[in-house]
Structure 1
Amino acid sequence: MLPQFAALLQDLFAALYKYNVLPLPESSVAPSARVNRVLLDGLLASTPYEHLKARTQLDEIRAGLGAVLLGERALELLRSEKLFSRRDLLDHFALRHDEAEHAERLREIERAEEMRGDAELGEDARSEIDALRERLAREALVAERRLERRAAEVARDVANRAEAGKKRLEAEALGVAQELDDAADEAESWGRALGARGPGSAARSLELGRRLAHNPKLRKLSRLLGRMREQALALRHRLFERPSEEILDVETGRELARLLPQELIGLRHPVLRLDWRRRYVEGALLQYRLRGDDERGRGPMVVCLDTSSSMAGDKEIWSKAVALTLLDIARRERRRFRAILFSSPETGLYTLDLNRGERYAADLEGSLDLADYFAGGGTDFEHPLDAAVECLGDSRFRRGDVVLISDGECRVSEEWKRRFLAEKQRLDFSLYAILIDVGGSTLETLAELADRVSRVSELTAETAGDLFTRV
């Protein structure tokens, strides 16, 4: 919509992030970017900008999110032709084309000068190059005059619309300031809940914040996920012995709790202390390698999530908050997590492996896909549970957990039920059902298939422990 829109985004980020903002002299701004300068001048002089900068200064995530949101608001104004008409925008692009053409002619003249300086050229070649230089100089002069004429026309249009553009962007800045805090805080909370840190986390947080800012359903889900995660972690920190781990081997590393006793001597030794610190930084200290439950047979967590029409509204929010809380639990316990989203047989299954990365870190993009996806249609338990059984059967860890999250409004055939229960006994896995009973719900089918059924309403009761501690 604007020929210099990428530059506008960079300027918006700098204006929101930097402590001191010093605009370039107007004479050094490209003619095609003067509209950017008008918008920025209006923003920098406005009261909403001060409120916005107080939230974003020296914070790259919030500054980036604020720049993206302001840029999107500017695009909306351009599409609605509230800043410039379509013809005005075409003039801006034509001006940008003239700038590029003039710059290309100048580069060609420079290359011709370099060629003429070649000592091995003969007189005929030099004469041809001189003729070429003269032609290029004439073309450059024509391009320059055309550029000056069009730049003057665009400058007049920009000046005529400058005041209206400043006021409109000022109003948009006020709206961005109001929604930025919520979106940034929820993005940070979401990423923290799913362990989405490490390289690229700033870019992921920026994209997450942008999606949260535009999606009320995701914002509501984010708030519920934060509360549910805190409760789940408190419940799982129950008072019983720590899951056992056994010594498997000796390896190098820097985890203090697993260092060999002889390595600890160097920590206090006056001569060996510097060498100990060097090996600590390099991760070269001798430590025990432990084998825990995950490596001794605790298998993946497979969550079948109902996305049929009956789950629309609050049921969808609650069911996905439960699923994402289970993802956080799986990440912390180093268990693979597969989500199978289902509705009717005709729709098909949507399968997401959400923590295949290093250290079982959650896939933030995949978790957003889970949160966004909603198929609608009818409900079929048979296909997703068959897929879950197939997953456990093919896995290196046979013993795992299957979780079915639904409002229970579905029937299954007797033949399929007998086959499923037989396969469940053969593979020796547990099926836990979570009934989303915040509206209409049916317990009968879930009770027939599952080892245990928990109700999402129990999250507010003293028995809430069953929901997250048994999986």
Structure 2
Amino acid sequence: MSPKRAKKTATKRVFQALPENTFWIDSDAYDRRVYGHLRSESPSLRALEEHGSTFLPHFGSLLQDIFCLLFKANVIFYPANEVLSSALLNEKFLQAIGQGSQYEFLREQTLLNDARAGLSTLLLGERLLAQIREEKLLSRRDLRDLWNIQKQEELVNQKREEYENAETIPEENLSEDGKKALDKARERMTGEVQGAEALLRHKTTQLKEDLKQIDAKATNRVQAEAIKVAQELEDATEEAETWGSTLGTGEKSPPGQKLELGRRLAGNEKLKKLARMVGRMKFHSLALRKKVFERSSEEVLEVERGDSIHRLLPHEMLTLHHPVLRKDFYRRFLDQELIQYSLRGVEEKGKGPMIVCLDGSSSMAGDKEIWSKAVTLTLLEIARKQRRLFRSICFSSAETPLQVVEMNSRARYETEMDKVMDLAEYFPGGGTDFEKPLTEALECLKKSQFKKGDIVFITDGECQVSPEWAEEFRRKKERLGFSLFSILIDVGSSSLGTLKEFSDRITTIKQLSGDEAKDIFLKF
């Protein structure tokens, strides 16, 4: 009698897990933290990631890789077998950026500089996304293949998880039929996993072949975009620093804010001209104000001790003529113990808001717009130093909504850069209506706890106002105690009629330069 054969025990199949990594560049905790802070502080970067992820799998990973490629001192790529196949295109982009002389030029500006590396990442990401959307780098079929591979990777992981779950089912309490059914299910799942893996390998192989076909074309296009970014980056960061120093609070701006500012300045010639003009106006106006108001804008507050010769009390000056007391005068001068007046400047007193009504009609386009906004932003800096609230009202026709921007906060009266940029970029065009912005300015002044507010009205045109409105405006102006200073750009005296109805002072500007504006700043 032949011996019974031992029952064959089914062996558990062990499948090799897919990589979980979608990044190509090795990053440490510091790199990820720096990029994470930039991402959290930059709405533009987050919006780009969200938008790009609808076109390309792992677009967010691509952005972080670009940042690391530009920011890190030591760039190390992961081996291909440690990265998901659906991220293969990202490697092609990164290799293209990292080749050629433009990469070294970029690296000189971005190495270990989070703000510049972040701005470069944003600009490159936007340009790559534009190329992808226009199908200049790869076709719609290639994109569909990438998404199919990502879905296939998800399917492989799902089938493996089902197989692993089936392997954990205990067989002790199962009947023979139950065990047979479980074995069949496991065999079926094994086949499904193997089939899904085979299909994934096939699709990956096909994708690699397709990427070889587009490799040269994509490399050239990506490098061309990188060259443009390298050229823009230097100008954009310099202009961002100019804006920060011209309209900043004196504190260091966070990298995310610098990134946003650089993004808005990149390639925007109008904003660059505006930044330069604001810088010139601010320098000249503040120097002139300091010189003119050094004494005339101050009043005696109290008596104090110090060494300011021009503020000494008369009896202190008499001691200089006494042979004995003269030596005591010198001693007290060195010790800052002389009795002098304490002066308080006008800028230290409580004042009402400063409101600038800015004409945004079509005739203001070009140099007039830049000059008028430079005046507005210089007045904003003066208001900040005087600790005054500042509101800008950009107007055009009666049908166009006003752009009303509170430019500084009451807590510290510091400039809010986002609002500055909103004002700088906004230009509605259209016709001209005076009543609507001035009525809005009145509403602001009514809410102020201080009187002696100022309205600055900048326009280049003529607009009729009703006699009833003009009479009511003058009555409210007298009651609220504010001044209205109008600036008329590039027009003759024949156009002053309407402004004379409600203005305290009118200045006519013939040349759009900083010198023409200097007298304006002395009024505040």
TM-score range, shorter chain: 0.7 to 0.9
Q: What is aligned with 2:199?
A: 146
Q: What is aligned with 1:356?
A: 409
Q: What is the CA–CA distance in structure 1 between the aligned matches of 2:165 and 2:299, rounded to whole Å?
A: 73
Q: What is the CA–CA distance in structure 1 between the aligned matches of 2:126 and 2:216, rounded to whole Å?
A: 20
Q: What is aligned with 2:210?
A: 157
Q: What is the CA–CA distance in structure 2 between the aligned matches of 1:438 and 1:340, rounded to whole Å?
A: 22
TM-score relative to the length of structure 2: 0.73
Structure 2 counterpart SS, 1:405 = strand
Residue from 195, 217, 221 that aligns with 2:274: 221
Matched, 1:89 2:143: yes
Q: 1:379 to 1:460 in 2, by over 3 A?
A: closer
Q: What is aligned with 1:22?
A: 76
The CA deviation at 1:64 is: 0.9
Whether the aligned pair in 2 keeps the contact of 1:298 and 1:399 (CA below 8 Å) is yes
Alignment of 1:95-110 (within 5 A): 95-107=149-161
Structure 2 counterpart SS, 1:303 = strand
The CA deviation at 1:388 is: 0.8
Structure 2 counterpart SS, 1:237 = helix
Q: What is the CA–CA distance in structure 2 between the aligned matches of 1:46 and 1:36, rounded to whole Å?
A: 18
Q: What is the CA–CA distance in structure 2 between the aligned matches of 1:461 and 1:223, rounded to whole Å?
A: 11
Whether the aligned pair in 1 keeps the contact of 2:396 and 2:431 (CA below 8 Å) is yes
Q: 1:224 to 1:139 in 2, by over 3 A?
A: farther
Task: Give the residue type in structure 1 aligned to 2:211.
Answer: V
Task: Give the residue type in structure 1 aligned to 2:225.
Answer: E
Q: 1:132 to 1:337 in 2, by over 3 A?
A: farther
Q: What is the CA–CA distance in structure 2 between the aligned matches of 1:313 and 1:459, rounded to whole Å?
A: 11
Matched, 1:195 2:286: no
Task: Give the residue type in structure 1 aligned to 2:488.
Answer: L
Task: Give the residue type in structure 1 aligned to 2:63.
Answer: L
Q: 1:383 to 1:97 in 2, by over 3 A?
A: same
Q: What is aligned with 1:166?
A: 219
Whether the aligned pair in 2 keeps the contact of 1:458 and 1:464 (CA below 8 Å) is no
The CA deviation at 1:91 is: 0.8
Q: What is aligned with 1:235?
A: 288
Q: What is the CA–CA distance in structure 2 between the aligned matches of 1:304 and 1:462, rounded to whole Å?
A: 21
Residue from 81, 87, 98 that aligns with 1:33: 87
Residue from 95, 105, 126 that aligns with 1:72: 126
Structure 2 counterpart SS, 1:420 = helix
Task: Give the residue type in structure 1 aligned to 2:264.
Answer: R
Task: Give the residue type in structure 1 aligned to 2:414.
Answer: A
Aligned residue pairs, count: 424
Q: 1:183 to 1:129 in 2, by over 3 A?
A: farther
Q: What is aligned with 1:63?
A: 117
TM-score relative to the length of structure 1: 0.80
The CA deviation at 1:197 is: 7.4
The CA deviation at 1:452 is: 2.1
Whether the aligned pair in 2 keeps the contact of 1:342 and 1:349 (CA below 8 Å) is yes
Structure 2 counterpart SS, 1:392 = helix
The CA deviation at 1:381 is: 0.9
Q: Root-mean-square deviation (CA), in Å?
A: 3.3
Whether the aligned pair in 1 keeps the contact of 2:353 and 2:389 (CA below 8 Å) is yes
Q: What is aligned with 1:406?
A: 459
Whether the aligned pair in 1 keeps the contact of 2:71 and 2:114 (CA below 8 Å) is yes
What do the CA deviations read for 1:333-358 (whole angstroms, capped 9, x no partner)?
Answer: 22111111111111132211121264
Q: What is the CA–CA distance in structure 2 between the aligned matches of 1:244 and 1:123, rounded to whole Å?
A: 99
Structure 1 counterpart SS, 2:419 = helix
Q: What is the CA–CA distance in structure 1 between the aligned matches of 2:523 and 2:507, rounded to whole Å?
A: 10
Q: What is the CA–CA distance in structure 1 between the aligned matches of 2:522 and 2:189, rounded to whole Å?
A: 78
Matched, 1:385 2:438: yes
Q: What is the CA–CA distance in structure 2 between the aligned matches of 1:205 and 1:12, rounded to whole Å?
A: 18
Whether the aligned pair in 1 keeps the contact of 2:459 and 2:487 (CA below 8 Å) is yes
The CA deviation at 1:305 is: 1.0
Q: What is aligned with 1:12?
A: 66
Q: 1:131 to 1:224 in 2, by over 3 A?
A: farther
Matched, 1:123 2:205: no
Q: 1:159 to 1:303 in 2, by over 3 A?
A: same
Q: What is aligned with 1:179?
A: 232
Q: What is the CA–CA distance in structure 2 between the aligned matches of 1:413 and 1:17, rounded to whole Å?
A: 61
Whether the aligned pair in 1 keeps the contact of 2:371 and 2:512 (CA below 8 Å) is no
Q: What is the CA–CA distance in structure 1 between the aligned matches of 2:60 and 2:358, rounded to whole Å?
A: 40
Task: Give the residue type in structure 2 aligned to 1:319.
Answer: S
- Percent identity between matched residues is 47
Structure 2 counterpart SS, 1:359 = coil
The CA deviation at 1:100 is: 2.6
The CA deviation at 1:199 is: 9.0
**Bigger CA radius of gyration:** 2
Q: 1:354 to 1:142 in 2, by over 3 A?
A: farther
Q: What is aligned with 1:300?
A: 353
Whether the aligned pair in 2 keeps the contact of 1:65 and 1:180 (CA below 8 Å) is yes
Structure 2 counterpart SS, 1:453 = strand
Structure 1 counterpart SS, 2:412 = helix
